[in-house]
């Protein structure tokens, strides 16, 4: 059976991170989905989210409006990916990151899709927090490439 969630029917009753607001549209608890979660997030002008990751979920992000910046570590150094409307971002499982909105007057809005039926969010003290599951995933990928 097809389920419809109107743009004005999204719920904030989902995992949250300081500095941003997430809205759930499709999930196991809302629509009975078994393998995906979808929603959107808003980052107000001049705000940045707390550092976090999404557990085992792969996350696809579509930029609706604004110019959010996605920040993560690469080889121990902070890397910033600047985006704009129409762009897509892929966040692998367990990768610590944050969203920033450098605009002084424009809200950043993105659509989120995750490979799990719940909105997994693990808030972190910093991007440098140790994530054992990420170490395991990197080791598995390295073994596959060998």
Residue 5, exposed/middle/buried by CB under 10 A (0-12, 13-18, 19+)?
middle
Global confidence as pTM: 0.91
Domain boundaries, the chain: 21-145
Strands 69-74 and 122-123: unpaired
Superfamily of domain 21-145: Jelly Rolls (2.60.120.10)
Could you read off the pLDDT tens digit of each residue along the chain, which spans 146 residues?
Answer: 899 999 999 999 999 999 999 999 999 999 999 999 999 999 999 999 999 999 999 999 999 999 999 999 999 999 999 999 999 999 999 999 999 999 999 999 999 999 999 999 999 999 999 999 999 998 998 899 88
Cα 125–Cα 104–Cα 79 angle in degrees, nearest 5? 45
CA neighbor of 110 nearest in space, from 101, 121, 102, 118: 101
């Amino acid at each position: 059976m097809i389920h419809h969630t109107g743009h004005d029917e999204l719920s904030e009753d989902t995992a949250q991170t300081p500095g941003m607001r997430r809205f759930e549209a499709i999930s196991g608890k809302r629509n009975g989905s078994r393998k995906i979660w979808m929603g959107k997030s808003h980052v107000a002008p001049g705000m940045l989210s707390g550092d976090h990751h999404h557990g085992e979920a792969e996350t696809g992000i579509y930029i609706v409006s604004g110019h959010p910046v996605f920040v993560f570590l690469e080889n121990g150094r902070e890397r910033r990916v600047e985006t704009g409307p129409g762009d897509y971002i892929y966040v692998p499982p367990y990768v610590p990151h944050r969203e920033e909105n450098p605009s002084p007057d424009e809200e950043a809005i993105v659509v989120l899709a995750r490979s799990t039926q719940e909105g997994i969010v693990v808030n972190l003290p910093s991007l440098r927090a140790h994530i054992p599951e990420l170490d395991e995933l990197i080791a598995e990928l390295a073994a596959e490439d060998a």
